[in-house]
Amino acid sequence: MNIAVFASHGGSDLQAIMDGCKENKINAKVQVVISNNGDSMALQRAEKENIPHFHLSAKTEGSEETLAKRLLDVLEEYNIDMIFLAGYMRLLHITILEKYNNRVFNIHPALLPKYGGKGMYGINVHTAVIAAREKESGVTIHRVNAEYDSGEIVAQTKVPVLENDTPETLAARVLEREHTFLVEVISDIVEGKIELG
């Protein structure tokens, strides 16, 4: 199975997926990495793994529409079966969601539907979880549709919130769990335990 990963920043989730494929924990290959951020560590990580990677954004391509067309061309060129958004800070154009219906997934660092939606990304999520005095947080993997963080949830796992947690210490614990959870869930998708398409 051919996977495309979209990432905007650090790319540690991308790294976990690439490593999972390399270690044969996921019977698939990351064929292409796309980032809207030319300086992203994600692109550097793809480079190091000799995986084709592209800096593509509405800015580089001129508009959302030309970006969507370019992305569709790249996804076609690499015969992509599944798209994984791993810290991708943009909405995918509807034409991509339609063509890859039920084959686009996103990972979110909280137990959706709580602590999701517009503006709920990065440290904001963990700040809100702590402010609400939650005893647990977690990781959600869901299908992607036209709104942020609102597609069908396909897998969730819980992560404890500790007494003296700061947003940063909680973020680190959740991100750590993401890296192992990603491999488990993507493997389930590839093996057909979670329906694709």
**Which 67-126 residues touch ligand GRF, going by CB under 6 A?**
86-87, 107-109
Angstrom distance (rounded) from CA 5 to CA 38: 15
Query: Of residues 178, 182, 186, 190, which one binds ligand GRF by CB under 6 A?
Result: 178
Q: Are 35 and 53 in contact (CB under 8 A)?
A: yes
Of 44 and 79, the one with the shorter C-beta distance to ligand GRF is: 44
55 is catalytic: no
Angstrom distance (rounded) from CA 112 to CA 91: 18
Tell whether residue 20 is a contact of ligand GRF (CB under 6 A): no
Of 14 and 33, the one with the shorter C-beta distance to ligand GRF is: 14
Catalytic residue among 108, 126, 142, 179: 108
176 contact partners, CB below 8 Å, separation of at least 6: none
Angstrom distance (rounded) from CA 189 to CA 167: 31
Tell whether residue 13 is a contact of ligand GRF (CB under 6 A): yes
Angstrom distance (rounded) from CA 193 to CA 197: 13
Tell whether residue 149 is a contact of ligand GRF (CB under 6 A): no
Residues near ligand GRF (CB under 6 A) are 7, 9-14, 86-87, 107-109, 175, 178
